[in-house]
Chains A and B, each alone.
Chain A
Amino acid sequence: MTKDDLKKIISSETNLTQKKVEEIIECILDTIIEVVKVDGSITFNNFGKFERKFKKEKRGINPQTGDLVLLPPKEVFIFKPSKNIFKTEE
């Protein structure tokens, strides 16, 4: 399933043009990223939580050279699915 498939299905169901649906979908995804960048997280009921998470620096080994390396800290984009993600329709 890709963006195009979703666009076609949604446009057929809602009497909206494919262009408009595509615009809206892309805008939704961009806003999610923006909000996560600024605030840190968004939650949608019965779907999940998009989150930004800080990860500490950690030790590692470079397998090519065998050096013991201290990897720098990171910030990661995470999605946590809600418990009810598959329960709604059952």
Chain B
Amino acid sequence: MNKIEFIEKVSTKTGASIKEVELVFQKLIEHIIVALRDGEKVFLSNFGTFLPKITKATKRYSALLGKEIEIPEKFTVRFSPSSKLAKEINIKYAAEEPKILKPGSEREIEKKISIISPEMEKERVTEAEMGPEEISLEEEKVGLFDFEGEVSDELSIGEEILSSIDSTEKDAEKGLLEELKISEKDFTTKNEEVTKMPDKGTEKPKFTFGEDLTSGSVGSGSYTPPPNLSSMTSSDLIRREGSPALWITLVLLFLGIIGVGIYWALSTDVTQIKKEPVIERKKETAPPVVVEKRPVSPDQKKIIIAPDEFAQTPSESELKEKRGMIIEQPETEKVEEKATKSQDLTKKETTTTSKLISTVEPKKTPIKRKVVKERVASTRKAQAQGDFYIQVSSTKDEKFALSFARNLRNKGYRSFVESANVPEFGLMYRVKVGYYLNETDLEKDYHNLRLLLKREDIYVNRK
């Protein structure tokens, strides 16, 4: 649709002239652009918002020029349609809902646990609330029943006494009350000992007992329950047997703690005593090892250094001329002879001897040519299957050739060194790869080596 057609359409809708609509439309666009350039949002209700955005200046590498190019900052506009507009346009697919392909595994399980856990917690809470209550009630009941029996037992004794003396004299009553109080105290103490395990049971019965006592004593013998001898005996037995058991346990614990303490003390003493002989033994053991070493070291020297000269005991000046090391050796030997008793000096000796050995040993360097020959033989045995080989280089340096071959071997090529007498140059060392049966493998390695070494001196040859 053209701009003109669009404006005509608008004019027909509104009834305004085409000029007016055109003017308004141009002005509208201009002002929107100006506002965006200044960095303002343009919010049109039921249509959308125009957001100005500035991209920062950056540096990019261009492959064509092979340089870094600075890209200047850019102004762009983002448009986000209003929710009403988005719904209007997406009428076709509005009814469709997302299909679940695969239900979430981990998160669902977590949620399930979280859902179950509060319920479980509630259940637990209810159990915790209900359980103790029931138990406490039972305990209380038990305590009360026991108590009543006990109370009746002890008070019955008082009643008997009262009956015998005829409870008219007030002094006697007071004395009896005091006695009863004392008995009460004893009872409480005993009761505490017996009923230490349930804490709730002890506290509540006390009050009940005290109330009963006061009321009963003042009222002069209102205790109705008669005494039962059988119950008396049983309860007394329980009390008398229960208390010593606790005492015995406590005493045993004390004894155990004391015993452990004594054991610790003894163990520390034992360790201290034990450690000392161990050290002494070490001291004893250390010197013989040194003694064993001493005869060895001079023998080694004799073997390493010319033995005939050593036997003749030459002068120091002659030795100086030959080797610097030999001058030190007799001195060290003297030191060794002197330091037979002390341990610290023995260590020095060992160090000196080791140094001497280390200094002397490298002089027995093997000849390299033998190694070369051995290697060549081994490689030939392993690779004597085909005829073709690739010659990589030929030099006069042995070291260079060997290192070159080693490097190639590390990279996966079967390389070896061969020596050959060339008429013009003399003895040359040739680095070769191979003995191939197939031509395909040969070609592959040939091209790879060319690429790897970046050289064209490589060539293929037959035996």
Query: Counting CB contacts under 8 A, is B281 at the interface?
Result: no
CB distance from B325 to the nearest CB of A (A): 78
Q: Which of B2-61 contact A (CB under 8 A)?
A: 3, 6, 9-10, 13-14, 16, 20-21, 23-25, 27-29, 31-33, 35-37, 40-48, 50
- Chain A residues with Cβ below 8 Å from B98 are 60, 62, 69-72
How far is B106's CA from A66's CA once the two chains are assembled, in angstroms? 8
A26-72, CB < 8 A from B: 27-29, 31-33, 35-37, 39, 42, 44-48, 52, 59-62, 65-72
Q: How many A-B residue pairs have CB under 8 A?
A: 150
* Most A C-beta atoms less than 10 A away, residue of B13, B47, B92, B106: B47
Q: A3-B45, A29-B44, A66-B104 are in contact. Are A52 and B79 (CB under 8 A)?
A: no
Query: How far in angstroms is the closest Cβ of chain A from B87?
Result: 10
Report whether B28 and A67 are in contact in the complex, using a CB–CB cutoff of 8 Å: no
Known interface pairs A9-B31, A79-B77; A65-B108 also in contact (CB < 8 Å): yes
A77–B24 touching, CB < 8 Å: no
Mark A60-90 against chain B: 1 for CB-CB distance below 8 A, else 0. 1110011111111111111101000110100
Per a CB cutoff under 8 Å, which of B14, B31, B81, B100 touches A6?
A: B31
A2-24 interface mask toward B, CB cutoff 8 Å, 1 = contact, 0 = none?
Answer: 11001001100110100011011
Partner of A68, one of B13, B40, B101: B101
CB contacts (< 8 Å) of B100 on chain A: these are 67-69
Contact in complex: A67, B20 (CB < 8 Å): no
CA distance A79 to B107 in the complex (A): 39
Which residues of B are found within 8 Å of A33, using beta-carbon distances? 47, 85, 88-89
In the complex, what distance in Å separates the CA atom of A2 from the CA atom of B46? 12
Which of B24, B46, B47 has a CB less than 8 Å from the CB of A10?
B24
B13 A78 Cβ-Cβ under 8 A: no
| Chain B, range 86-105, C-beta contacts under 8 Å to A | 86, 88-90, 92-93, 96-105
Contact across chains for B107 and A65 when beta carbons are under 8 A apart: yes
Residues of B within 8 A of A71 (CB): 98
B75 at the interface (CB under 8 A from A): yes
Chain A: minimal CB distance from B104 (Å): 2
CA A23 – CA B287 in complex, angstroms?
115
* B1 contacts chain A at the CB level, 8 A cutoff: yes
Closest to B90 in A: A75
Question: Which residue of chain B is the closest to A46 with respect to CB atoms?
Answer: B29
CA distance A47 to B6 in the complex (A): 15
Q: How far is the CA of A55 from the CA of B101 in the complex (A)?
A: 20
Q: Is the CB–CB distance between B9 and A47 below 8 Å?
A: no
Q: List 27 A-B contacts (CB under 8 A).
A: A2-B42, A3-B44, A3-B45, A6-B32, A9-B27, A13-B27, A14-B27, A20-B16, A20-B20, A24-B24, A27-B14, A28-B21, A31-B6, A33-B85, A44-B3, A48-B77, A62-B104, A66-B108, A68-B101, A69-B101, A70-B98, A70-B101, A71-B98, A72-B93, A72-B97, A77-B89, A79-B50
Chain A interface residues (CB < 8 Å from chain B): 1-3, 6, 9-10, 13-14, 16, 20-21, 23-25, 27-29, 31-33, 35-37, 39, 42, 44-48, 52, 59-62, 65-79, 81, 85-86, 88
Q: Which 3 A-B pairs have the closest CB atoms?
A: A66-B104, A79-B79, A66-B107
